Amino acid sequence: MANMAQDRPSPVRKPPSAETLARFAAIVGEKHAIRDPAAQAAYLTEWRGLFKGVTPLVLRPGSVEEVATILKLASETDTPIVPQGGNTGLVGGQIPFEDGAEIVVSLGRLDKIRTVDPEGNTLIAEAGVTLQRVQEAAENVDRLFPLSLASEGTCTIGGNLSTNAGGVAVLAYGNARDMVLGLEVVLASGEVWNGLRALRKDNTGYDLKHLFIGAEGTLGLITAAVLKLWPKPAETTTAFVGFASIEAVGTFFRDARQRSGPALTAFEALPALALTFLERHVQGARNPLNRSHNWYVLMDVAGYQGEGDSFALAEQIIGGALESGLAEDAVIAQSLDQQAALWRLRESLPDTQRLEGGSLKHDVSVPVARIPEMIERGNVLIEKSMPGARPLSFGHFGDGNLHYNVSQPTGMDQAEFMRRWWDISGPLYDLVLELGGSISAEHGIGRLKREQLVKVKSATEIEMMRSIKRALDPQNILNPGKML
């Protein structure tokens, strides 16, 4: 599929020589230096098929020392490097450009959980450990690692930190950035920075780890991280609630947040079209409520005392909303199976849009209070730009983050729809900015939004970013052409 990004062609670059490639391969051993195009395919295609890259070599280092040696050689030979974790990123940051000049370094073999400290509530994981394994390691010592994404079985901690991932629990626990105490990073020169400190208070100068978090592999290769753990709730209650309007969802959110404080750990909104797509494409998926509603909320309330306290709180909040007529209908999960079935609806949603033809993704955020205005004005703009296009704005309502996706009009040629993407995305991004929002809430910039970044950041901000890049990667060998 053609790239829909407004992507400039990379400057003319030559692929590394055969001799240089042989030196890189020798660092990891031939078994972990992938040259065969068929074996490379999984590393070169992005999840949605939006970007397809070319590389002479995928390297799979098995230790921090090997990563350091790779970067030393990259500096010596001026070879550009593309770091990769689980390849679930949605802005193309982990995919090399098409000129075949870059080497992909996949961190998947750095997959050890080095230590788990339940007393200090920390865990040290290497970059290639999947998010799900980190969650399980926390669970094994009766703790919670709250980062939670639909891609958690595949995405890695290195990728999560490099993208500053968000997900469904930001409301209570923050973004990936808020879950880190220390980092180990291999710098462009090959030097290893050991910043694996497990301190909750450390005001000794610039907090350097935050430069690498959200840097999308442009400033260094993260090899390990000290992650924070939280007390595990004794129980969590999940509910699914139907509403007549997005304004009603907003009023309900304010009330639920006020009454439950940090116990409200997830608050996801889905429009009616989401249920239509789910019922159409996901086997066994059905609306848990008796009839359809214009909007739905999927929410989690955590309880720390056990014995039904989260259930009672959810019942109280939802009962009040039903009584006052704010909510139209609701179901509260009575078992872990029911809970999982409700969450499966939300988690299956991203996949269903592919099956409806072309889909434009807009991972945006606005102040929570302005979400109804964003959706109402956004939908009008979309209809005006392309009559029949189907807006599907769903997501992390509680933290102001909408996946404001748009499916092609039924029956329209998909290629034609994708060609006209800016007719829809341009006015939508303008609206987001007018409402004081961000054009990338959680997925990052990568290749997809690089052209937009310079339009939304001030010249001062861009120059500060470029100065940091120059200081840490003077030869521009780390993921060049991504983000900046």
| Residues at the contact surface with ligand FAD, assessed by CB under 6 A | 47, 82-90, 93-94, 107, 127, 149-151, 155-156, 158-160, 162-163, 165-167, 216-217, 221-222, 350, 442-443, 446, 479, 482
Closer of 87 and 237 to ligand FAD (Cβ): 87
Q: What is the DSSP string of 415-450?
A: HHHHHTHHHHHHHHHHHHHHTT-BS-SSS--TTTTH
Tell which residue, 86, 233, 104, has the closest CA to residue 161.
86
CA-angle at 198, arms to 193 and 199, nearest 5°: 110
Q: Which residue has the tokens 């290639």?
A: 128
Helix ranges, 231-361 (H): 246-260, 272-281, 309-324, 336-354
Contacts 24+ apart (CB under 8 A), 412-416: 412/357, 412/358, 412/388, 414/357, 414/358, 415/2, 415/358
Task: Please check whether residue 403 is in contact with residue 363, taking contact to mean a CB–CB distance below 8 angstroms.
Answer: yes
Cα(242)–Cα(223) distance, integer angstroms: 44
Distance CA 424, CA 417 (A): 10
Rounded Cα distance between 282 and 213, Å, is: 35
DSSP letter, residue 6: -
What residue type is 180 in one-letter code?
V
Interatomic CA distance for residues 397 and 400, integer angstroms: 5
* Contact (CB, 8 A) for 167 and 442: yes
Coil/strand/helix, residue 462: helix
Structure tokens at 143: 């703790």
- Measured from the CB atom, is 102 or 328 closer to ligand FAD? 102
Name residue, tokens 């929002």: 437
In our burial notation (b when 16+ CB lie closer than 10 A, e otherwise), range 269-307 reads: bbbebbbbbbeebbeebebbbeeebebbbbbbbbbeeee
Give the torsion through C-alpha atoms of 327, 330, 336, 337, to 10 deg: -130
Q: CA–CA separation, 219 vs 469, rounded Å?
A: 6
Count the neighbouring beta carbons within 10 Å of the beta carbon of residue 355: 12
SS3 content of the chain, % helix, strand, coil (to 5): 40, 20, 40
List the structure tokens of 476: 């521009």
